[in-house]
Homo-oligomer: A and B are copies of this chain.
Amino acid sequence: MRDSLVAAAFRLFLERGYEQTTVDDIVALAGVGRRSFFRYFPSKEDVVFPDHERCLAEMTAFLGDGDDAADPVARVCDAARLVLGMYAENPTFSVQRYRLTRQVPGLRAYELSVVWRYERALAEYLRGRFAGRPDGTLRADVVAAAVVAAHNNGLRSWLRSDGQEDAGAAVDHALAHVRLVFAPDPPAAPAPAAGDTEEDVVVVVSRRGAPMWRVVQEIETALGRTSD
C-alpha cells in the first residue's frame, strides 16, 4: 500500500512535476482512497521521503546503544554513514528524488527539516559526550553541523553523478576531512612516558615526497597517540 502509493506518486511527479500533481491524482492512479493516503503519509511531501523516519530511528538507536568507548566524533561520523546507506540502497530512487528536491522549493524546505532532525540527533549525542567540558554544547553543535555538511557534500556529489561514483568513498573522504579538523580530541593526553616527563618538544623527520597520511602516521607514533 505504502509502496504502491510511493510508486504512483513518483510516476506522476517525474511525468508532470510535483506541484502539477495533486493527491487526488496519486490516489486515483494507485487505486486507493484519498483518506488512506494521509493515513500513510501525514503530508504530500512525506511521500517523497518514505524511509527517513525509519532511518532516523535507526540513527538514534545507534547513538543510544551505550557503545561510547570510541571517539565521539568518529561515532557521529559512523551514524552519518547510516543515512548514506539508506540512500545507497536504492540508487535510482535516490537520484530521482534528488532531481525533484533540487527544483521544487517546497521539497527542499521539507528536506531541510529532515536533515535538521538528523543534526539534532547527532548534536544531542555529542552534548552528552561533551558534558562538563567548557563550551561543550557549542562544540557539539558545531561538530554536528560540520559532520552533516560534509556528509551532504559527499552525498550530493554522488547524486550528481547519477550514482556512478562510489558513494561510500565520497562520503568517507568528506568525513575524514572533518575528523582531521576536529580530530585532536584534547583529552587524548600527551601522556609523557616514564623518564621523559620534562620533554616539551618532539622532533620528527620525514621524507619530503612521502604521502601525507604516512607523515601523519609518523607524527602520531612520535607523539605516542593517534589523531582519532
Instruction: Give A residues with C-beta under 8 Å from B.
Output: 105, 108-110, 112-113, 116, 135, 137-139, 141-142, 144-146, 148-150, 152-154, 173-174, 177-178, 180-186, 188, 190, 192, 199-209, 211-216, 219-220, 223, 225, 227-228
- Contacting residue for A211 out of B110, B184, B206, B207, CB 8 A: B184
Shortest 7 CB-CB contacts between residues of A and residues of B: A145-B149, A184-B211, A184-B212, A145-B145, A109-B113, A112-B112, A212-B227
A177, B220: Cα distance in complex, Å: 14
- Contacting residue for A181 out of B142, B154, B225, CB 8 A: B142
CB neighbours of A116 from chain B (8 A): 108, 112
Question: Judging by beta carbons under 8 Å apart, are A146 and B142 in contact?
Answer: yes
Q: How far is the CB of A128 from chain B (nearest CB, A)?
A: 16
A112, B211: Cα distance in complex, Å: 34
Question: Judging by beta carbons under 8 Å apart, are A174 and B213 in contact?
Answer: no
CB neighbours of A174 from chain B (8 A): 138
CB neighbours of A205 from chain B (8 A): 201-203
Question: Judging by beta carbons under 8 Å apart, are A182 and B184 in contact?
Answer: no
Q: List 5 A-B contacts (CB under 8 A).
A: A142-B149, A142-B177, A201-B208, A212-B219, A216-B227
Give the secondary structure class of A's interface. helix
CB neighbours of A184 from chain B (8 A): 211-214
Question: Judging by beta carbons under 8 Å apart, are B215 and A206 in contact?
Answer: no
CB neighbours of A177 from chain B (8 A): 135, 138-139, 142, 228
Question: Judging by beta carbons under 8 Å apart, are B203 and A208 in contact?
Answer: no
A178, B225: Cα distance in complex, Å: 18
Question: Judging by beta carbons under 8 Å apart, are B112 and A141 in contact?
Answer: no
A183, B183: Cα distance in complex, Å: 14
